[in-house]
Amino acid sequence: MSDSIVLASLFPTLLGTYGDGGNVLTLTHRAGLHGLTVEVIQVDPGDAIPHQADLYVLGGGEDSAQVAAAQALQADGGLATAADRGAAILAICAGYQLLGHEFPDAAGKPAPGLGLLDIRTDRLPARAVGELACTPSPHAPDTVVDILTGYENHAGATHLGPEAKPLAQVRAGVGNGDGTEGAVNGRVMGTYLHGPCLARNPQLADTLLGWVIGQPLPAIVEPEVEQLRAERLSIVLGSDAPQSAPISRPDA
């Protein structure tokens, strides 16, 4: 694998409601810190999905845009091909839901998803809006150890099938709706965390980049980011928050 990473940003015009472009910026930024370069391909509706990207990113979006994006991805088939090949995929909120078997459309009826994650989504009794904090689950990649922080705004209750494993356990907020948050299936990762997710959780960004280059990346700490994490976690978790944001990670 060369050190230039090809990143496909899928339908940011449809799936980019909650500052999700920040995830692409963060991947580019973190890659730069690690001496890697990223080539970003923006894929708009009507464009073919590139088959050879290393990393695919999907954001959140409104209901009708989510259905349109799912249909376009289904018709193209390129994302499924990339997933089979072992490409890394990060999907947020509406993007996360549409990677599963089905998700609710604007009218609440089940719409078919891509089936790249073994999950099904229906409606929560009440919309989940607010800060979300969660602890990486035992199934999370071993490079993800720090508490995950973000903001959620969704109406989806997501149920994991046997192939998908939860990314995290909820400490505050709703997440999938059953105490778990997000899902991981090989190199496909989905989550309700935005804020954007990777800007507030650089270990997730480094994990995705590490998957692509085939080795874990060393920890690089940015004070601004740690201060933001500490502030959000102390507001959400109060005295349960880690006193200083942990920066350690297991030896790879």
By C-beta, is 106 or 252 nearer to another protein? 106
Q: Which stretch binds another protein (CB under 8 A): 48-56, 154-162, 164-172, 194-202?
A: 194-202
CB of 17 to another protein, least distance (A): 7
Q: Which residue has the tokens 């073919």?
A: 48
Q: How far apart are CA 187 and CA 104, in angstroms?
A: 25
Please indicate whether residue 93 is annotated as part of the active site: yes
Q: Which stretch binds another protein (CB under 8 A): 2-10, 116-124, 188-196, 243-251?
A: 188-196
Q: Which of residues 106-165 bind another protein (CB under 8 A)?
A: 129-130, 151, 153
CB of 68 to another protein, least distance (A): 4
* Under 8 Å between Cβ of 114 and 83: no
Closest among 189, 209, 164, 163 to 58, alpha carbons compared: 189
By C-beta, is 166 or 196 nearer to another protein? 196
Residue 227 in contact with another protein, rule: CB under 8 A? yes
By C-beta, is 13 or 215 nearer to another protein? 13
Residue 40 in contact with another protein, rule: CB under 8 A? no
Residue 192 in contact with another protein, rule: CB under 8 A? no
Closest among 133, 250, 137 to 200, alpha carbons compared: 133
CB of 93 to another protein, least distance (A): 11
Give yes or no for a cis peptide into 196 (omega within 30° of 0).
Answer: yes
What type of residue sits at position 31?
Answer: A
Residue 3 in contact with another protein, rule: CB under 8 A? no
Residue 222 in contact with another protein, rule: CB under 8 A? yes
Residue 18 in contact with another protein, rule: CB under 8 A? yes
How is 17-49 classified by DSSP, letter by letter?
A: TTSTHHHHHHHHHHHHHTT-EEEEEEE-TTSPP
* Under 8 Å between Cβ of 21 and 12: yes
Alpha-carbon distances, residue 197 vs 21, 76, 227 (angstroms): 10, 27, 16
All residues at 6 or more sequence positions from 126 whose CB lies less than 8 Å from its CB, including other chains: none
Size of the site for another protein (CB under 8 A): 35
Closest among 104, 124, 98, 122 to 188, alpha carbons compared: 98
Tell me the two tokens of residue 80.
């499924």
Residue 166 in contact with another protein, rule: CB under 8 A? no
Active site residues: 93, 194
Binding site for another protein (CB under 8 A): 13-14, 16-22, 25-26, 29, 44-46, 62-65, 68, 129-130, 151, 153, 194-196, 199-200, 222, 224-225, 227-228, 231
